[in-house]
């Protein structure tokens, strides 16, 4: 049974390195800038902390959930260009996992009102053969990270 988001957020505060919460105004500004609303998991996370380093502090953190101000299209984060040749406009970089790789959120799809997360392996992006699903929701991803404390490559194994 999945862990409630509130419990995951308590654990982030207790055992990891969260940033201060985003204000409702920052969330509104973000949603206006990107043109899509945060799903319930992401909204809860950002109202709790506007980004976080998980497991270790920078520069060695394997997961840096980006603050709202740093979330950009995956193609911009990975290739530095906002061009269709570098992937769909509906996919955004959500979590920096080092070495130019990201966990991405696909805002063109939803399941149970949650956006799926996908692998943003920079050497293969946007090839879906090499950049598959990471989790069906942010809460599922967060729980995997908190439970396994493993790098992205090993999540789910």
pLDDT per position as a tens digit, 40-71: 999 999 999 999 999 999 999 999 999 999 99
* Mean pLDDT value of segment 75-99: 94
Q: For residue 36, what pLDDT is reported?
A: 98
Q: For residue 75, what pLDDT is reported?
A: 94
Question: Which residues are within 8 A (CB) of 94 and not within 5 positions of it... i.e. 6 or more apart?
Answer: 65, 66, 71, 102, 103, 104, 105, 117, 138
Question: Which residues are within 8 A (CB) of 76 and not within 5 positions of it... i.e. 6 or more apart?
Answer: 82, 93
Q: How far apart are CA 145 and CA 154, in angstroms?
A: 10
Using only C-alpha atoms, the chain has a radius of gyration, in whole angstroms, of 14
Q: For residue 21, what pLDDT is reported?
A: 99
pLDDT per position as a tens digit, 122-154: 887 878 777 889 999 999 999 999 998 766 554
Domain count for the chain, please give it.
Answer: 1
Domain range for residue 25? Answer: 5-154
Q: How far apart are CA 100 and CA 112, in angstroms?
A: 30
Q: For residue 152, what pLDDT is reported?
A: 57
Q: For residue 157, what pLDDT is reported?
A: 46
In the predicted model, is pLDDT for residue 74 greater than 70? yes
Q: For residue 32, what pLDDT is reported?
A: 99
Q: Which CATH number belongs to the domain containing residue 10 in this structure? A: 3.40.1580.10
């Amino acid at each position: 049974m999945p862990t409630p988001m509130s419990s995951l957020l308590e654990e982030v505060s207790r055992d990891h390195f969260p940033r201060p919460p985003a204000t409702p105004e920052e969330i509104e500004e973000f949603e206006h800038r990107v043109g899509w609303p945060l799903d319930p998991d992401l909204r809860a996370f950002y109202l709790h902390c506007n980004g976080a380093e998980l497991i270790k502090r920078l520069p060695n953190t394997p997961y840096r959930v980006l603050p709202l101000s740093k979330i950009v299209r995956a193609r911009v984060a990975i290739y530095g260009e906002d061009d269709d040749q570098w992937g769909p406009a509906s996919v955004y970089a959500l979590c920096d996992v080092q070495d130019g790789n990201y966990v991405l959120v696909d805002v063109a799809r939803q399941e149970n009102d949650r956006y799926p997360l996908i692998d943003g392996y920079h050497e293969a992006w946007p090839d879906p053969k090499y950049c598959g699903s990471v989790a069906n929701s942010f809460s599922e991803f967060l729980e995997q990270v908190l439970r396994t404390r493993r790098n992205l490559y090993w999540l789910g194994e």
